[in-house]
Amino acid sequence: MGLSGPAIADTNPANPGQLTYGQDISHHESGHDWASSGAKFGIVKATESTDFVDSEFARNYAELDANGIVRGAYHYGHPGNDPVAEAEHFLSVVNKQPAKQGDLLVLDLETTDGKSVGEVNAWAKRWLQHVESKTGVKPMLYSGWYFADTYGDGLEQYPLWVAHYSKAKGTVTPPGDWKSVAIHQYTDDPVDQNVSKLSVDQLKALGRK
């Protein structure tokens, strides 16, 4: 993957041949127990559209920090809205929480709102660029494999978190022009579960400085 900053390796140097395990949740998993989750990283829903705030976000974010788990916040995007307005809404909510080094910022892109491929692609670029300009961090892009392959042209500079349930964990190949996958979401049973070939420190290097 063509990233600026820390390079993404294909192995976990802390545990060669091992995968780093993580989970992602939203308010649908109210009261999630991070302490016994076994997760080394957790990415939680913060916002959606221009006004929705996940009711569990503040609790989840604090619990991840309290348990020493690499944490991330994601925004569920709607290409039918203004991308800067959505990015500002996301940042306004996330920035209310004390920032920690290594916090990941993520755009969840999996709906078109009836927009064309070019329109969705341009929308995503604008959202990602705006968040990067405000934070100095390249946000991560989350999407389904086929969605990323269709709408992700020119987005390969952003770390990719991809959902592909028919592939064994950690074996998914990159879609489009991406050269690697930062995180693989391999199942949603009983919660969304993920693995990364990156170590905890490598994941943190993709987040806030």
pLDDT at 10 over 80: no
Q: What is the pLDDT of residue 161?
A: 98
pLDDT at 50 over 80: yes
Q: What is the pLDDT of residue 16?
A: 52
Q: What is the pLDDT of residue 107?
A: 99
Delineate the domains of the chain, giving CATH numbers in brackets: 20-28+41-204 (3.20.20.80)
88, 116, 189 from 121: Cα distances, Å: 19, 8, 30
pTM of the entire predicted model: 0.92
pLDDT tens profile 156-206: 999 999 999 999 999 999 999 999 999 999 999 999 999 999 999 999 999
pLDDT tens profile 103-129: 999 999 999 999 999 999 999 999 999
CA distance 71 to 40: 9
